[in-house]
Structure 1
Amino acid sequence: MGAKASRMRTKEEACRGSANPSHKGLPADQILSRPTTAYQDQKPGTSGLRKKTKVFMQKDYLANFAQSVFNCLPEEEKKGGTLLVSGDGRFFSHEAIYEICSIAAGNGVGRVWIGLNGLASTPACSAIIRERENGICFGGFLLTASHNPGGIDEDFGVKYDTANGAPGYEALMNEVWEKSKTISTIKYAKLPKFSIDKLGVQVNIDGAFQVEVIDPIEDWLKLMKEAFHFPAIKRLLALPHFSFVYDSMHGVSGPYAEKLFIEEFGAKRECLMRQDPLVSLSPGKGVCRSCSVVSASFASK
């Protein structure tokens, strides 16, 4: 009974998102469907579904998983709702974002938020889902495989976060897995090609469905200011005998580091290393990478 009650509380907490009355979702005559063949290996783990990139590039592999998630969500949650789709920018992310947006539109979603350039860190995604527009977002697809390298011969991943900003609870993801093994139809909508490198609404279909590119940092930064004493940190970094080096390793944290350390704290730009996100997420491995960070640290003394 206790475990069941715990799962129920988790489910209730996970379903906080609400529909935006200004976005109703596309009418039925604009929603299309196509047949698909189920895969039997789409069981998500604690970090979502992770496979080699070429696996995700198989016909409808990503689409099947996304549709299986939508098949498990309440209709009232999806219809006219707001969904986040972003990730760490690894190889195949842009194609995946467009695919999920198309399927979201086909499943009644009213609006999709995408982080600028398709980027949003996992903590930032949680903040956006929970905080932006008073928590109107019902969930999000996060395209990430953590610290694993990206590339056509490397890793790709997708996980679904619910309205509480946490990964989908176990019962939901088990249901997604079961649906994925028997899925036969994908619902989608034809969307115009759109840019994700500038802020603002990029797709607007009669006001019923929108794709909006958002600042992926502002909600996260607001929470950071609530959690930490920024003036004290700024004073510390201004001390003449204090120095530091932050290595983003060409991952998604680069833009966040620049906003935080340079713009907010006034640190010198040379304190940052490899802050430009790459599709490979790979600055080098092991000892070589560690040596470069250590060398930079001593050079700043």
Structure 2
Amino acid sequence: MAAVSSLQGIEVKIISTKPIDGQKTGTSGLRKKTNIFMGEHYLANWVQSLFDSLGNEVKGKALGLGGDGRYFNKEAVQTILKLAAGAGVKKVYVGMNAIMATPAMSALIRGRKLYGGLIMSASHNPGGPKEDWGIKFNYSSGEPAPERITDAIYGYTTKISELKMADIPETDLSKIGTHSYGDFEVEVIDPVEDYLALLEEVFDFGMLRKFITRPDFSLTFDALHAVTGAYAGPILVDKLGASASAVRNGVPLEDFGGGHPDPNLTYAHELVELQWSDKATDFGAASDGDGDRNMILGNAFFITPSDSVAIIAANAQEAIPYFKTGLKGVARSMPTSEALDRVAEKEGLKCFEVPTGWKFFGNLMDAGLCSVCGEESFGTGADHVREKDGLWAVLAWLSILAYRNKDIAVGEKKVTVEDIAMEHWAKYGRNFFSRFDYEGVESDAANSMVEHLRAVQADSKPGTKFGDYELKTADEFSYTDPVDGSVASKQGLRFIFTDGSRIIFRLSGTGSSGATVRLYIEQYSADSSKHSQDAQAALAEIIKIALDISQLAKFTGREKPTVIT
């Protein structure tokens, strides 16, 4: 029988448990198959380990809680609330129906000065009983938990022996309202309200509404049956005047409608097919499972995430009131193309190159060094929150379009997404860029390929020729954080050529099983006559060199990537 203690006027049951292997917590939390999390004590062990790692710091404090709408979230909330009460947490704000987009959680934490928040999501991974589930903790600035916390969580998972579960009833998540259990309080809130209020401080909603309601402008936003479906209606339709039909797949579903909620050219195929048809709208966008990623399209025109952050940075001061005094600096992840660097150089801005992971941007933002940042993996954001923010990026692009068209009368030729990109490339040059993803690769095979690449680098000196490309340097990226001095090593293998072209290989840990091999290819051109060229055609030679260098097909057995971006 479980032992019983008392805390905050609530009975707390002490339940015996034992460590479960494999609960290593990364920057993006813990991700596994849903049925693993549903196993006895699996979720509870991790959450209890989180609270044990936080210790007395979390007692008497308030937390946020919500997720991306995927299967098992509502049941998980009830377990988390009982453990939070058992840990001495004073109050938990829960999104209605367990909904809370990742950037909205960051906004909630920052706006209400919460101790932190728990986000139930496996991001862009599929959801459902046989698919993925995940959970992560965001800290007091709204940023993903730093390594000192994630390392501590993992340490506690290896020695956990008991769960402290408050004996409280299940909370009704279907209605806004406050529930008190002794001195512990749960407030079910509108998941959109705080986030929308922040966006209204960032953007000129009057300018946006005037543009979006023009009779000669059309837009499509595909929520992919994920969490931004809960936000798109209130923001794009109710607040900014878009037609209800502009939002597609807008109802969050526990299995994302059987789709893969990753906003890229492969998985957001309905939107892509629309934008390359005779029914294309002027502007198309999609977001991912938990609302932190985005894809931007024009009429038969794709904006790479690398170009997107560069174009936003180049136009932010004019088009977005939040940046009217200028940008503090910009930053990109190492695999992201150097398009942002070119903007920074021409505009006199400091540009930081960081490892993949939003926490590195968060440090720069907290130190006042960065205003706009992005990752080539469809993540774009700014210092209004400490997470990448899909809807923010959509509104940033709509703001640029609105600003550029503010003096153009209805019926006259508008400035389009493609126009903005072409003008940008004419000024800064174009960094042709592509990413090949090989998902679910057997881990040993992926690691063998990496060891092979390290050997190739060791034998490759500056001046070595790879086809027509001359090597400038070959290394394994490491980063010393300018704010806290921490060092991140082994962040990706780089081959950098004298003309500025780059080939990068990296293993990603965002999946729930196996390894994802990511290959990044980049080539710069200042020749505007070549800027309309298809990226895959422009990069064909260097892609072949990358595949030859890595012997990827030999090591992985994969002749083609799962996804090409």
Q: Assess same fold via TM > 0.5.
A: yes
Count residues with an aligned counterpart: 271
Kindly indicate whether the alpha-carbon contact (under 8 Å) linking 1:250 and 1:283 is maintained by their aligned counterparts in 2: no
Give the aligned partner of residue 61 of structure 1.
42
Q: Give runs of aligned pairs for residues 99-138 of structure 1, distance below 5 A.
A: 99-132=79-112, 135=113, 137-138=114-115
Deviation (angstroms), 1:295: 6.9
2: CA distance, partners of 1:29 / 1:96: 20
Aligned residue type for 2:103: P
SS of equivalent to 1:183: coil
Deviations 1:73-123 (A, max 9, x none): 141x32221111110010010111000000011111111111011101000
Q: Give runs of aligned pairs for residues 102-181 of structure 1, distance below 5 A.
A: 102-132=82-112, 135=113, 137-181=114-158
Structure 1 segments (4+ residues) deviating >4 Å: none
Kindly indicate whether the alpha-carbon contact (under 8 Å) linking 1:237 and 1:243 is maintained by their aligned counterparts in 2: yes
Deviation (angstroms), 1:179: 0.8
Deviations 1:140-166 (A, max 9, x none): 110001111111100000001111101
Kindly indicate whether the alpha-carbon contact (under 8 Å) linking 2:27 and 2:146 is maintained by their aligned counterparts in 1: no
Kindly indicate whether the alpha-carbon contact (under 8 Å) linking 2:110 and 2:141 is maintained by their aligned counterparts in 1: yes
Higher relative contact order (CA 8 A, sep 6+): 1
SS of equivalent to 1:177: helix
Aligned residue type for 1:204: S
Deviation (angstroms), 1:244: 0.7
Q: Of 194, 210, 233, which aligns to 1:235?
A: 210
Deviations 1:154-201 (A, max 9, x none): 000000111110111011110110111110111111111221010011
Kindly indicate whether the alpha-carbon contact (under 8 Å) linking 1:26 and 1:110 is maintained by their aligned counterparts in 2: no
Aligned residue type for 2:42: Y
Give the aligned partner of residue 38 of structure 1.
19
Gaps of 5+ in 2: 1-5, 261-265, 283-565
Over 3 Å counting, the alpha-carbon distance change for 1:56 and 1:228 in structure 2 is same
1: CA distance, partners of 2:216 / 2:172: 45
Deviation (angstroms), 1:290: 3.9
SS of equivalent to 1:30: strand
TM-score, normalised by the number of residues in structure 1: 0.85
TM-score, normalised by the number of residues in structure 2: 0.46
2: CA distance, partners of 1:48 / 1:89: 17
Q: Of 30, 53, 62, which aligns to 1:49?
A: 30
Kindly indicate whether the alpha-carbon contact (under 8 Å) linking 1:248 and 1:275 is maintained by their aligned counterparts in 2: yes
Q: Give runs of aligned pairs for residues 52-91 of structure 1, distance below 5 A.
A: 52-75=33-56, 77-91=57-71
Kindly indicate whether the alpha-carbon contact (under 8 Å) linking 1:97 and 1:118 is maintained by their aligned counterparts in 2: yes
Over 3 Å counting, the alpha-carbon distance change for 1:277 and 1:222 in structure 2 is same
1:277 and 2:252 matched: yes
2: CA distance, partners of 1:83 / 1:55: 25
2: CA distance, partners of 1:108 / 1:146: 29
Q: Quick check: which one's helix share is greater?
A: 1
1:97 and 2:77 matched: yes
Aligned residue type for 2:207: A
2: CA distance, partners of 1:71 / 1:296: 54
Q: Quick check: which one's strand share is greater?
A: 2
Kindly indicate whether the alpha-carbon contact (under 8 Å) linking 2:122 and 2:133 is maintained by their aligned counterparts in 1: yes
Deviation (angstroms), 1:300: 5.5
1: CA distance, partners of 2:73 / 2:212: 35
2: CA distance, partners of 1:204 / 1:212: 9
Q: CA RMSD in A?
A: 1.9
Kindly indicate whether the alpha-carbon contact (under 8 Å) linking 2:219 and 2:281 is maintained by their aligned counterparts in 1: yes
SS of equivalent to 2:7: coil
Kindly indicate whether the alpha-carbon contact (under 8 Å) linking 1:274 and 1:283 is maintained by their aligned counterparts in 2: no
Larger Cα Rg: Structure 1 or Structure 2? 2
2: CA distance, partners of 1:226 / 1:204: 33
Kindly indicate whether the alpha-carbon contact (under 8 Å) linking 1:66 and 1:103 is maintained by their aligned counterparts in 2: yes
1:204 and 2:158 matched: no
1: CA distance, partners of 2:128 / 2:49: 25
SS of equivalent to 2:256: coil
Deviations 1:6-38 (A, max 9, x none): xxxxxxxxxxxxxxxxxxx93377222111010
SS of equivalent to 2:51: helix
Gaps of 5+ in 1: 1-24
Q: Of 203, 213, 216, which aligns to 2:191?
A: 216
Deviation (angstroms), 1:292: 4.9
1:261 and 2:236 matched: yes
Kindly indicate whether the alpha-carbon contact (under 8 Å) linking 1:83 and 1:113 is maintained by their aligned counterparts in 2: yes
SS of equivalent to 1:245: strand
Give the aligned partner of residue 557 of structure 2.
none
Over 3 Å counting, the alpha-carbon distance change for 1:153 and 1:211 in structure 2 is same
Deviations 1:186-226 (A, max 9, x none): 1111111221010011x3123x0111101111111111111
Identity %: 38
